Amino acid sequence: MSSSYLPHVVYTLALISLGMHTLRQRKDAEAARASCAARLSVLSDLAARLRARERMPEDEFRKAWRLARPREELEAALPGAAEPEIPWREVLFGKKQTAEGEEWDRRDWEQVKLEVERSARAESR
């Protein structure tokens, strides 16, 4: 590839990247607007039914209330949903080993060696 084409390739990649980014942003905004409109619809229906003093079973009320909550709030309420953030530095370079971590690794390795030796003895009999 000739070096005279390199700037054009870089510009083209930049334009494509910007186009894809703006498209993704537009789709995310449309999804957020649709989600807000749906939650508002559920809440307005629920408010109208409560203002009219309409009898509503407890489970139906809880279902409508859960539908009106934002998705992030629902996911955060799930057990085990709080996943720790992993920084990019750890992704690229790995996690720093501590003395305690090295000790656990050594213990695990010794345990594996003992299990292998036991299974080898059991097979030789």
- pLDDT score, position 98: 74
CA dist 18 to 2, 6, 13, 24, Å? 25, 18, 9, 10
Q: Which tens digit of pLDDT belongs to each residue from 38-59?
A: 989 999 999 999 899 988 889 9
- Looking at the predicted structure, is the pLDDT value of residue 12 above 90? yes
The overall average pLDDT reported for the chain is 85
- Looking at the predicted structure, is the pLDDT value of residue 31 above 80? yes
- Looking at the predicted structure, is the pLDDT value of residue 90 above 90? no
Pair 71, 35: CB distance under 8 Å: yes
- pLDDT score, position 74: 65
- pLDDT score, position 77: 66
